[in-house]
Amino acid sequence: MRTELSHRKPLVAWLLQAMLMIAVCLPTGSIFGLNVKIPAFALFAIALAMYVASRSSKWITADEFIFLALFTAGLAFWGLVAIFRGQSETSQVFLQLKDIASTVILAWLCLFFLRRHLMRPEDVIKPVVYGIVALAVMKIALITITLALKINPIQLLGNIFGDDALVGGSIAFGLSRIEFSSDILGSFVLFALLCPSVSGLRFRRVTIAFFSLAVIASGLLAFARYIWFLEAFAIFAATIIEGRFKLLVLAALAMICVGYFYYEELQPVFEARFFSDQVSDSDLIRMEQSKALVTAIEARPLIGKGLGAHVNAVIRNSEDQYSYELQWLSLTMQFGFAGIVAILLMIAASARDLLASHHPAKLWLLALFVLWLLSGWTNPHLTSSFAGATFGMFMALFFKLRYLPASGQEANQLV
* Contact of 308 with 300, CB cutoff 8 Å: no
Residue 404 is which amino acid? L
Q: Torsion angle, CA of 103/109/114/120, rounded to 10 degrees?
A: -70
Indicate the pTM of the whole model.
0.90
Least confident span in 25-29, 79-83, 227-231: 25-29
CA angle (235, 157, 178) in 5-degree steps:
35
User: Strand runs (DSSP E) across 32-128, as ranges?
Assistant: 34-35
188 close to 391: Cβ distance less than 8 angstroms: no
Q: Which of 12-26, 76-90, 110-124, 347-361 has the lowest mean pLDDT?
A: 76-90
Q: Name the 3-class secondary structure at 314.
A: strand
Helices (H) and strands (E) in the chain, counts: 18, 4
Q: How high is the pLDDT of residue 327?
A: 94
Q: What is the pLDDT of residue 84?
A: 87
Alpha carbon separation from 50 to 103, 126, 135, 275 (Å, rounded): 23, 25, 32, 56
Spatial CB neighbours of 160, under 8 Å, sequence gap ≥ 6: 31, 32
HEC profile of 179-244: EEHHHHHHHHHHHHHHCHHHHCCCCCHHHHHHHHHHHHHHHHHHCCHHHHHHHHHHHHHHHHHHCC
Query: DSSP letter string over 23-51?
Result: HHH-SSSEETTEE-HHHHHHHHHHHHHHH
Q: Check whether 411 has a pLDDT greater than 50.
A: no
pLDDT at 108 over 80: yes
Better pLDDT: 149 or 225? 225
Residue 93's pLDDT band, with cuts at 50, 70 and 90, is very high
DSSP state of 7: S
Longest dimension (CA), the chain: 66
Q: What is the pLDDT of residues 371-410, one digit of tens each?
A: 999 999 988 889 999 999 999 999 999 999 998 876 534 4
d(CA 92, CA 227): 29
Q: How confident is the model at residue 85 (pLDDT cuts 50, 70, 90)?
A: confident
Question: What is the CB neighbour count within 10 angstroms for residue 94?
Answer: 14
Region 153-172: mean pLDDT is 73
The count of C-alpha atoms lying within 13 angstroms of the C-alpha of 162, restricted to the half-sphere facing its C-beta, is: 13
Is the CB of residue 178 less than 8 Å from the CB of residue 145? no
Per-residue pLDDT at 185 exceeds 70 = yes
Q: Judge whether residue 96 has pLDDT over 80.
A: yes
The pLDDT of residue 57: 67
Q: Which residue has the higher pLDDT, 113 or 87?
A: 113
Measured CA to CA, the distance from residue 204 to residue 257 in angstroms comes to 28
Work out the pLDDT band at 2, boundaries 50, 70, 90: very low
Q: What percent of the chain has pLDDT over 70?
A: 88
Average pLDDT for the chain: 86
Is the separation of the CB atoms in 180 and 165 below 8 Å? yes
Q: Is the pLDDT of residue 412 over 60?
A: no
- Can you name the residues that pair with 169 across neighbouring β-strands? 177
Average pLDDT over residues 66-85: 93
Percent of the chain whose predicted confidence (pLDDT) is above 90? 53
3-state DSSP percent of the chain in helix, strand and coil, to 5: 70, 5, 25
What confidence tens digit (pLDDT) does each residue in 282-334 have? 778 888 899 999 999 999 999 999 999 999 888 887 788 899 999 999 999 99
Q: What is the mean pLDDT of residues 356-367?
A: 94
pLDDT at 406: 65
Q: What pLDDT band is residue 181 in, cutting at 50, 70 and 90?
A: confident
Q: Say what the pLDDT of residue 415 is.
A: 32
Higher pLDDT, 157 or 140: 140
Per-residue confidence (pLDDT) for residue 128, from 0 to 100? 96
* pLDDT value at 356 more than 80: yes
- Give the chain's length: 415
Express each pLDDT in 222-253 by its tens digit.
Answer: 888 899 999 999 999 999 999 888 777 877 78
* Paired strand residues for 34: 31
Binned at pLDDT 50, 70 and 90, residue 28 comes out as confident
CA nearest neighbour of 20 among 390, 395, 389: 389
Residue 213 has pLDDT above 90, yes or no: yes
Of residues 191 and 35, more confidently modeled: 191
Nearest alpha-carbon partner for 21 in 4, 44, 3: 44
Residue type at position 296: A
CA atoms within 13 A on the CB side of 185: 35
Mean pLDDT of 54-69: 83
Residue ranges of domains in the chain: 11-414
Confidence (pLDDT) at 163: 64
How confident is the model over 60-76, as a mean pLDDT? 91
pLDDT category at 165 given cuts 50, 70, 90 is: low
Query: Cα-Cα-Cα-Cα dihedral of 131, 132, 136, 139, to 10°?
Result: 60
